[in-house]
């Protein structure tokens, strides 16, 4: 390669380098980087809860008729199962599988002359017998987190019998729910003294079985929850009651009320 050719190549390389330096900024200007389109993060603000509502469904155990309706109710329910009946054990398991909370619906002596369930706790029973009945019943109603009274107006006013029941509940780590079937129940004060977790019914939902009445009682329960922050209602294992709950509970929930299990309401 002669000197002329070498000089010519050097000039070309120098020229190409110079052009590259000049054009690089221009190239960057022509092809600017586009910002990545990130999705805006949605921050869920806590809902304003107007009130909390616990609903207890009593008297499970006689049959399996209403399980299909329970499957369609998505809100929390607490189910009180009567012991020593044909379907007691099976219902406890099936209701638990459907997401319900289970409590033992303990038969207790009423003042009225009703036909009593087998092994109903009475005020003349010795403490040992009462404890034996409760233990047998708890083995019949598995998965129970609490105990409530089935009937029991007479027991509810007898401090001696009530204290035995509460002591057994405390021993087993269970709460007690007073259906409040009679005024002047001794359970609230005794539970406080004995430091047993406790709750008490506010409203019966289905003293009448027609749809309109049950809806009106749910409205009262909702309004009570709005005033007090918490309300507890009792219904029963009846088709009309459960059909109304299936229809109305989602509407109440949309209004800003929260449904909870009874264990979340005890104090």
Structural domain count, the chain? 1
pLDDT of residue 47: 63
Q: What radius of gyration, in Å, describes the C-alpha atoms of the chain?
A: 34
Domain membership of residue 42 (yes or no) is no
Answer yes or no: is 137 within a domain.
Answer: yes
The DSSP H or E segment spanning 103 is: strand 101-108
Residues 6 or more apart from 203 whose CB is under 8 A from it? 217, 220, 221, 224, 231, 232, 233, 234
Asked if the structure places residue 102 within a domain, the reply is: yes
The number of beta carbons lying within 10 Å of the beta carbon of residue 10 is 10
H/E segment holding residue 193: helix 187-194
Which residue has better confidence, 38 or 121? 121
Give me the pLDDT at residue 220, please: 98
Helix axes 159-171, 127-140, angle to 10 degrees: 50
**Tens digits of per-residue pLDDT, 213-260?**
999 999 999 999 999 999 999 999 999 999 999 999 999 999 999 999
Distance CA 123, CA 145 (A): 24
Residue 9 lies in a domain: no
Answer yes or no: are the C-beta atoms of 232 and 260 closer than 8 Å. Answer: no
Mean pLDDT of 131-137: 98
**What is the mean predicted confidence (pLDDT) over 45-57?**
86
Q: Give the tokens for residue 117.
A: 């369930």
User: Helix (H, G, I), strand (E, B), or coil: what is residue 93?
Assistant: helix
| Domain extent for 252 | 51-264
37 in any annotated domain = no
- 145/38 Cα distance (integer angstroms): 47
Q: Cβ contacts of residue 8 below 8 Å, gap of 6+?
A: none
pTM: 0.82
User: With 80 as the cut, is the pLDDT of residue 210 above it?
Assistant: yes
Q: Report yes or no: 117 and 107 within 8 Å, Cβ to Cβ.
A: yes
Q: What percent of the chain has a predicted confidence (pLDDT) above 90?
A: 80
Q: State residue 226's pLDDT score.
A: 98
Residue 2 lies in a domain: no
Residue 202: DSSP 8-state = -
Alpha-carbon span 34 to 47, nearest angstrom? 38
Q: Is residue 34 part of a domain?
A: no
pLDDT at 110: 97
CATH (domain of 177)? 3.20.20.370
The predicted pLDDT at position 113 comes to: 86
Question: What does the pLDDT average to over 132-145?
Answer: 96
Calculate the average pLDDT of the chain. Answer: 87
Average pLDDT over residues 53-77: 97
The sign of the dihedral angle between the CA atoms of 205, 209, 213, 218 is positive
């Amino acid at each position: 390669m002669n000197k002329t050719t070498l000089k010519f190549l050097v000039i070309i390389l120098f020229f190409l380098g110079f052009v590259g330096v000049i054009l690089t900024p221009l190239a960057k200007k022509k092809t600017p980087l586009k910002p990545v389109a990130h999705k805006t993060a949605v921050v869920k603000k806590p809902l304003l809860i107007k009130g909390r509502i616990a609903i207890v469904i009593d008297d499970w155990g006689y049959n399996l008729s209403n399980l299909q309706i329970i499957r369609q109710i998505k809100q929390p329910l607490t189910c009180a199962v009567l012991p020593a009946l044909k379907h007691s054990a099976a219902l406890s398991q099936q209701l638990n599988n459907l997401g319900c909370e289970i409590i033992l619906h303990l038969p207790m002596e009423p003042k009225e002359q009703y036909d009593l369930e087998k092994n109903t706790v009475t005020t003349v029973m010795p403490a040992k017998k009462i404890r034996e009945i409760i233990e047998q019943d708890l083995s019949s109603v598995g998965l129970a987190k609490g105990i409530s009274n089935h009937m029991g107006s007479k027991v509810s006013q007898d401090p001696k019998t009530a204290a035995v029941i509460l002591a057994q509940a405390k021993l087993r780590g269970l709460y007690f729910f007073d259906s409040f079937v009679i005024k002047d129940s001794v359970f609230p004060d005794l539970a406080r003294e004995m430091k047993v977790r406790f709750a008490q019914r506010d409203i019966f939902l289905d003293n009448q079985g027609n749809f309109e009445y049950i809806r009106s009682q749910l409205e009262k329960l909702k309004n009570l929850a709005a005033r007090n922050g918490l309300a507890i209602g009792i219904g029963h294992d009846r088709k009309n009651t459960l059909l109304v709950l299936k229809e109305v509970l989602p509407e109440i929930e949309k209004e800003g009320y929260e449904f909870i299990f009874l264990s979340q309401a005890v104090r």
